[in-house]
Chains A and B, each alone.
Chain A
Amino acid sequence: MSAPAIATQACSKWYGQVLGISDLTWSVTEGVVGLLGPNGAGKSTLMKLMTGLIRPSRGTIQIYGEPPHKSAGARRRIGYCPEHEGVYNDLTALEFVTFMAELSGVPGAKSRDAAAEAMAQMGMTKAQDRRLKGFSKGMRQRTKLASTIVHDPDVIVLDEPLTGVDPLARMAITDMIREFGKSGRIVVVSSHVLHEIEALTSEITLIHRGQILAEGNIYGIRSLIDKHPHRIEVECDRPRDLGSRLSATDHVQRLTFTDDKVVVETRDPDSCYDLIADVVLESDIVVQSLHSPDNNLSAVFEYLTSGRQI
């Protein structure tokens, strides 16, 4: 069995007294993974470890079986796009990406072509011969991303790729990330804007206080958070009637009424959905909408990081 793309084993990193990550065991084998966590939780540390920029204080980290800080071969299979700007204003975009390609090990003869292709993938072909100095944030970001994928890596690690980017460029970048993931390669993407992550993937890893607090499918994680029962919001013409009928059953833990809505809290959402449909149809209550407001990443994040244990 081939080695997983990214694998850490009891990996820790600290900087003097400051803790980066602590005893982290984690692996990624495919697709797009969202990396989340409050500020200072250890996301950047983990990303720098993945790309070989720093080495673990304890434990191991391997990219396709080899430690990135020692093996240039492993490093060549990774592309990293850090959060901060690091571009050379006097170069044109194409020159910059070509330069980065050569730095990443693409043979000199092919580097220009690879760069042009990467720029085309990012939709930047028209602007590639302009100097970076005049670029907007969205264009810079796309150029940086082109330089990240130019050497055809198997894994790309993106730190806040959409910060400050206007909606048009945002779509281009989001599409590129999804395409990349679909083509069998790995993307680890971190962001504070949870909607962005939701639009990209449903697999996440949540880091808190230097350790992995939760990993896996967002909705799977949600269903494990027992302490916060699922909420189902029903907007209808007779919310209190609906509520009173529902309250007679075991499945419902709590009912809250606002305006023309009733919010049902339950530990058994599966039965509850069926129950609500039955009650509504039997009593001829007209439903306007039905949805679960906290079955999303925002709620998961909130519940898990609010300081108390699940």
Chain B
Amino acid sequence: MLIELRKVGKTFGTVQALKGLDAQIDGDVIGLLGPNGAGKSTLLKCMLGLLEHDGEARVLGLSSAAESFRIRDRVGYMPEMDSYLPGMTAVELCTYAGELSGLPRNEAMQRAHAALFYAGLEDKRYQKVDGYSTGLKQRAKLAQALVHDPDLLFLDEPTNGLDPRSRDEMLELITLLPKKRGCSIIVSTHLLFDVERICDQVVIMHLGQMRFSGSITELRANKHLAAEAGLDADAAEAEAHPYRGGEPQKVTSREDRTYAVEVKQGLDQLAERLHRAGCEVEKLQPLTLTAVIPSKQTPNLILREARAADVQVRRLQIDRESLESAFLRVVEGAAEPPPATPTKEAPGE
């Protein structure tokens, strides 16, 4: 288990930064989300043993109160702000970082080079970090977090200030880390798109409490557990009679049958036809709608109706709640998710 928290609390004067957190967090790439002031950085400091706190926190099986140095031996931290020693080259900086983590000098130097290769700084590693562009500084920060072979990496806003190509490359690097280096990663960021792309687990914090901890799929599934009073009729029937005619009934839940459809033209005709075919239809945009197809049907139904109405379908996908809506739902504690952010307009051809 990567991180175990038991009634972890921290009070600064009168302000309760962390309120009795209980969680077990595990995974490859974990997103740590939450508005500012939610307590993310306080939690991090407690886990690294830099702050005393109530309750018990175990990181990689080690206690934050008693074994904080051993934790820091095995954790790498990539800070959000600039963090380097002026006048040093990238190689010197990473070597120094390795030595501070206890590696003998030669070992530190070799691993520094290896880490810089991984981070894509092969060409520039002998230049001073002061002169680096933002993108290169971010890579250097990643390299210095990797030098000492950590088992857990904490990345704070790793794509801050990067242009689109560098962001992609940084996200690639991060995704490859668990496979290539066998370490787990916690990414703290405000960019929910990034999280959707690279994380398999999320932890959402708000006002010092942990509002959610689990996989992204579970986060979305929560929506329907919260919103629906019970299973819909078909699913209820299937539950009551699991076998009918000798074959097990396939129960597909409602969210697995909701599709987003984008067309080139003729949305109204398609909506009409789908409605007559037994779907629940909701028109969203000039050229987009969502349809819940009856439980025994396949999405081909939509294509059939479209073809019959001479409507060209350009997109057909399961309508997943965006991570943004899910996040807002969890944080604002609303029973109803806010209206989905409008999707892009259809191509103008």
Contact = CB atoms under 8 A, between A and B. Distances in A.
Classify A-B as touching or not with yes or no (CB < 8 A).
yes
B300 A192 contact: no
B298 A277 contact: no
Contact of B307 (A192, A278, A302): A278
B134 interface: yes
B324 A163 contact: no
Contacts of A202: 344-345
Contacts of B349: 219, 223, 269-270
A66 B12 CA distance: 55
Contacts of A37: 163
Nearest to A287: B299
A220 B348 contact: yes
A270 B265 CA distance: 12
B312 interface: yes
A17 interface: no
Interface in A250-302: 269-270, 273-274, 277-278, 280-281, 284, 286-292, 295-296, 298, 301-302
A101 B346 CA distance: 40
A305 B164 CA distance: 10
B165 A302 contact: yes
A304 B288 CA distance: 28
A168 B331 contact: yes
B35 A138 contact: yes
Interface string B297-316: 01110011011000011111
Contacts, number: 125
Nearest to A286: B298
A281 B303 contact: yes
Interface string A48-81: 0000000000000000000000000000000000
B36 A138 contact: yes
A218 B37 CA distance: 37
A107 interface: no
A102 B289 CA distance: 47
Nearest to A178: B342
B133 interface: yes
Interface residues on B, range: 35 or more
A29 interface: no
A192 B313 contact: no
B96 interface: no
Contacts of A231: none
Contacts of A120: none
Contacts of A4: none
Interface stretch (A110-118, A143-151, A179-187, A193-201): A193-201
B154 interface: no
Contact of B316 (A166, A199, A290, A298): A290
A199 B341 CA distance: 8
A280 B316 contact: no
B164 A277 contact: no
Interface residue SS majority, chain A: helix
B190 A39 contact: no
Contacts of A194: 164
A223 B348 CA distance: 9
Contacts of A13: none
A131 interface: no
A168 B316 contact: no
B193 interface: yes
Taking each of B135, B303, B342, which has the highest tally of chain A beta carbons within 10 Å of its own beta carbon? Answer: B303
A31 to B, nearest CB: 13
Contacts of B220: none
A89 interface: no
Contacts of A193: 164, 167, 191, 193
A301 B164 CA distance: 8
B35 A166 contact: yes
B177 interface: no
A192 B190 contact: no
Interface string B184-196: 0000001111000
B303 A195 contact: no
B160 interface: yes
B164 A274 contact: no
Contacts of A137: 36
A202 B135 CA distance: 27
A167 B317 contact: no
A290 B163 contact: no
Nearest to B303: A277
Nearest to B298: A286
B35 A167 contact: yes
B312 to A, nearest CB: 5
B41 to A, nearest CB: 12
B8 interface: no
B230 interface: no
Nearest to A138: B36
B162 interface: yes
B314 A222 contact: no
Given A164-B157, A277-B306, A289 B318 contact: yes
Interface in B267-310: 298-300, 303-304, 306-307
A165 interface: yes
27 contacts: A38-B163, A39-B134, A137-B36, A138-B35, A166-B34, A166-B36, A193-B164, A198-B344, A219-B345, A219-B347, A222-B347, A223-B347, A273-B312, A277-B303, A277-B312, A280-B303, A281-B300, A286-B300, A287-B303, A287-B316, A288-B318, A289-B318, A291-B315, A295-B347, A298-B168, A301-B165, A305-B165
Top 7 A-B pairs ranked by shortest CB distance? A136-B36, A219-B347, A166-B35, A290-B316, A289-B317, A195-B193, A291-B315
Interface of B: 33-37, 133-135, 157, 160-165, 167-168, 190-193, 264, 298-300, 303-304, 306-307, 312-318, 324, 327-328, 331-332, 341-342, 344-349
Given A287-B299, A290-B314, 5 more contacts: A164-B157, A169-B35, A193-B164, A219-B347, A290-B315
